[in-house]
Structure 1
Amino acid sequence: MTSSASATGSGSGSGSGCPSLLGVFAHPDDESLLAGGVLAQHAASGARTAVVTATWAGDTARAAELDAALTVLGAGEPRMLGYGDARNESSAPGRSRWCDVDLAEAVAGVVAHIRRFRPEVVVTHDALGQLTGHPDHRRTHRVALLAVEAAGIGRLHPEAGEPWRTSALYAATHPHSGTGDLGPLLSGVGKGLHSVPDEDVAAVVDVTPWLAQKWDAICAHTSQLRGERPLPALLSRLDEATRHRILATEYFTRITPGPAHVHTVRRRLTV
């Protein structure tokens, strides 16, 4: 894909072949931890990038942190659905928890963003809930799958705009072989570790050239650098070499549209 595009048009927006990319994630900081390198890579190539975040209200401190992180990654302004975090009542007072909200309502919200942004590639959580199995991660995976399909069908959610067919949907994940340093890090604070068979991984992306950007984006979520259990805080206490090993590679399964499993190793996400 080499056609140029505006913020509402189609195409990669770059002659590099990097496609336009929309992340759909559960919480502020998920975008930086799971796909910060790929987002920075695509933005650096001139491709359009953006992120939809399901939880936390727009007037909270975490929304401001998300804004700062997206600026670092070149991914535009926050696009927040504003639902409650399953594990934090103060995240969106008066709103339903994301994991409890009516499924049709949740899908319609994401469809509207897909049709407005018109991405070639959508990236979201995997079905396991990305390492820790957080219920908001699993719900986001399900909603994103349904929204990508619905966005291309004009008779579904007509109020959300003209239909748009995304070319590829990827889920951020970790293969069994890629969890070595993460295992003891997460188990040390009582967190689980969910990974997939190596052969299920469709894209293995070395994001070393964008690692400094990715880490700066993670650190922009300053509230998550405090405490014992948040992953940014755990990472901040590691030596640089170990942190580099954890963050320098991003893994993705390809879901749909397209083949369920693409048994290849690629340097970037493709359509």
Structure 2
Amino acid sequence: MNQPPLPSLMGVFARPDDESLLAGGVLAQHHTAGARTCVVTTTWTASSHRVPELADALAVLGSGAPRLLGYADARNADSAPDGAVRLVDAPLDEAVGRLVAHIREVRPDLVIGHDALGQLTGHPDHRRAHQITLLAVEAAGLPHLYPDAGEPWRPAALYAATHPESGVGRLGPLLQSVGKTLLTLPDAYVTTSVDVSPWAAVKWEAICAHRSEAARARPLPGLLARLTEPERNDIISTEHFTRLSLGPAPGDPHRLVA
């Protein structure tokens, strides 16, 4: 029996490397199956050193060129050499409108992004990106909101990348070894867990494209680079999500995996 085609995906992530770490396997899986994918990154501007790395990672994943909202990182002035405002300081309506324009242009079946906790470490940019994405995926389908941002389009669902309490495994001690926090969700909140082991090598190549992070000791790419391949694959080969429905109920064709 022929499998139904996989839905098109738009990833919305706070900073370069989030897309590869949190959803690189799913993005590679969908691209391999012929589905359209793209990634919107909310912080780090085109003039920063990490955007060329982001472009290389997206090329590996088959997700096109970087799409940037153009804001600065909450904790790193190098993210915006041009002096752009920080995402956490930007007017909410402005940031939502910028993302709505991308959603209406691309018209993805599904949007994937951060969870409400801001992933394991609770970074303020992750939390703000989650809030903006929640509002934008709803607003994009309403013609009276942001009328200059293109024709309305409503994705079927938003999938929030997350980490269940029982699924942290080796990643927990790895982050704690450099003094990072562990914010996890109860297992019941996780609606979708995807085995991306067939795409682990592609995902790792995309993570490594973020060279400046892989060369440092504390960021997760650098921590993963110091592990053996089996240890690393054990961490990166499953991706967890919470489906936040907007369109048809579960059981419709627009699911993260066929």
* Overall identity of the aligned pairs, in %: 62
Contact 1:58 1:82 (8 Å CA) reproduced: yes
Q: What is the deviation of 1:263? A: 9.8
Per-residue CA shift, 1:126-170, capped at 9, x if unaligned?
000011100000000000000000000001001100000100110
| Counterpart Cα distance in 2 of 1:212 and 1:97 | 34
Q: What is the deviation of 1:191? A: 0.6
| Counterpart Cα distance in 1 of 2:72 and 2:5 | 37
| Counterpart Cα distance in 1 of 2:176 and 2:88 | 24
Match of residue 34, structure 1, among 22, 42, 45 = 22
Secondary structure at the aligned position of 2:6 is classed as coil
Match of residue 101, structure 1, among 86, 90, 100 = 90
CA gap 1:263/1:175 in 2 versus in 1, 3 angstroms:
farther
| Counterpart Cα distance in 2 of 1:58 and 1:73 | 20
Per-residue CA shift, 1:166-214, capped at 9, x if unaligned?
0011000011011121111111111111111111111110001111100
Query: Could you tell me which amino acid in structure 2 is paired with residue 20 of structure 1?
Result: S
CA gap 1:263/1:236 in 2 versus in 1, 3 angstroms:
farther
Query: Could you tell me which amino acid in structure 1 is paired with residue 256 of structure 2?
Result: L
Match of residue 171, structure 2, among 156, 175, 182 = 182
Secondary structure at the aligned position of 1:99 is classed as helix
Query: Could you tell me which amino acid in structure 1 is paired with residue 228 of structure 2?
Result: D
Per-residue CA shift, 1:39-79, capped at 9, x if unaligned?
00000000000000001111222000000000000000000
User: Greater RCO between the two (CA within 8 Å, min separation 6)?
Assistant: 2
Q: Does 1:69 align with 2:64?
A: no
Contact 1:199 1:263 (8 Å CA) reproduced: no
Match of residue 107, structure 2, among 118, 122, 125 = 118
Match of residue 232, structure 1, among 221, 233, 238 = 221
Secondary structure at the aligned position of 1:122 is classed as strand
Contact 2:46 2:70 (8 Å CA) reproduced: yes
Q: What is the deviation of 1:270? A: 5.0
Match in the other structure for 1:249: 238
Match in the other structure for 1:12: none
Structure 2 counterparts to residues 1-271 of structure 1, below 5 A: 16-93=4-81, 94-257=83-246, 269=256
Structure 1 segments of 4 or more deviating over 3 A? none
Secondary structure at the aligned position of 2:27 is classed as helix
Q: What is the deviation of 1:242? A: 1.2
Q: TM-score, normalised by structure 2?
A: 0.94
Gaps of 5+ in 1: 1-14
Q: CA RMSD in A?
A: 1.9
Query: Could you tell me which amino acid in structure 2 is paired with residue 164 of structure 1?
Result: W
Query: Could you tell me which amino acid in structure 2 is paired with residue 27 of structure 1?
Result: R
When the two structures are aligned, how many residues end up with a matched partner? 253
CA gap 1:100/1:74 in 2 versus in 1, 3 angstroms:
same
Query: Could you tell me which amino acid in structure 1 is paired with residue 95 of structure 2?
Result: A
Query: Could you tell me which amino acid in structure 2 is paired with residue 87 of structure 1?
Result: R
Q: TM-score, normalised by structure 1?
A: 0.90
| Counterpart Cα distance in 1 of 2:103 and 2:171 | 32
| Counterpart Cα distance in 2 of 1:76 and 1:227 | 26
| Counterpart Cα distance in 1 of 2:15 and 2:160 | 15
Query: Could you tell me which amino acid in structure 2 is paired with residue 165 of structure 1?
Result: R
Gaps of 5+ in 2: none
| Counterpart Cα distance in 2 of 1:244 and 1:146 | 34
Secondary structure at the aligned position of 1:194 is classed as coil
| Counterpart Cα distance in 2 of 1:143 and 1:79 | 15
Contact 2:47 2:80 (8 Å CA) reproduced: no
